[in-house]
Amino acid sequence: WITFFPPTCCGPFGWFCAGVTVLFGVTLLCVAKRSPVEKANVLVWRLLPVLLGLLCVATLGAAEGLVVFCGTCLISSAYLGSRALLPVGDKAVLITGSDTGFGHALAKYLDSLGFVVFAGVLHKDGPGAEELRKTCSRRLSVLQLDITNATQVKEAYLKVSEKVQNTGLWGVVNNAGILGFPAGGELLPMSMYRQCMEVNFFGAVEVSKTFLPLLRKSKGRLVNVSSMAGGIPLPRCAAYGASKAALSMFSGVMRQELSKWGVKVAAIHPSGFRTGIQGTSNVWEKQEKEMMENLPADTRQDYGEDYLLGLKDYLLRMPAYCEADLSPVLSAILHALLAKRPQGVYTPGKGAYMFPWVFCYLPLWFYDFFVSKMMNTESVPRVLRASEAKSKNL
């Protein structure tokens, strides 16, 4: 003991530092005992400063040790403040787009945690809705909710209000969305731009505005599921990316404006996950036909039939580049719903942070090159192929 704590550190001030450190550690052990869910975080991020404090007092001296100890305590407190979760209790959450994908998995996940879940679906009698009824508890209610239909949104609001009554609605998760046909911005028909904006942006705004009185009453959470494509430009995502960018901006503005009401707003920007958002082969054929019918003759000639018909192959390759495990997104949404200090933006999934970092901090020419290689956008229109071949012959 004498060897570990030199005589210079064993004065009154040194013993005070050691006493504060020990008291702090005992308090945190009690906190960990009361909160099993956060026990690992508490033990790692709060006991670490305790041990570091003792070490600093022993090696640096009392004054220096106390400074380092206080600094590490502040850092760990800030970290744990963002990690601490509120109890689920009887909190009620509305989720749009619960037929498949993130919404479907989230409805099951929140139900298993004890939430009162209102699962909005596009097809109330569809397979996704039926599975929710069969596998989830009686707390979960399936609601017919086409977010582009103002009447259905209003009816859903009345049903939710009637059920929650004085308890209030804690959260709204705007998850419903469509991808559209992945083609160049010049090739997409205007109807695809309008459809993406109608579902991905205007629908989410309609739901948010309708249910905000309930969220303001409970000082709850508004969570908007955007996309990595809503923060950075990605090839073949002109319509989808533009609509998600609008949703991300809406989320940021609402986060600022609703803070005075105690409502916290978060945007989720996932990378690629296998959610089925790309649709089925029947949907692809319909979208492809619509695109081909609306192309001007000269544009169709310049791009070439083989290039245009090959666009659908990208849809077939998409699942290979997407993650099957949806848990990172579910965890991010849960944190946004329950954290005492939720983040404004979450980026779950591989590449969801890397791509924006490259876009923000490196030259644009490098970002464009990086994205073209990562997304395999190597197909070339007919006119450009002919021009390249002619240049080589010369």
Q: Which residues are catalytic?
A: 240
d(CA 330, CA 91): 17
Nearest to 226 by CA among 216, 234, 218, 217: 234
Q: What is the dihedral of CA 163, 164, 169, 173, to 10 degrees?
A: -30
Neighbours of 316 (CB within 10 A): 11
Q: Are 254 and 247 a contacting pair, CB within 8 Å?
A: no
φ, ψ dihedrals at 120, nearest 5°: -80, 130
**Bridge partner list, 12:** none
Q: What is the DSSP letter of 235?
A: T
Nearest to 291 by CA among 300, 278, 279, 304: 300
Grouping H, G, I as helix, E, B as strand and the rest as coil, residue 215 is: helix
d(CA 29, CA 48): 12
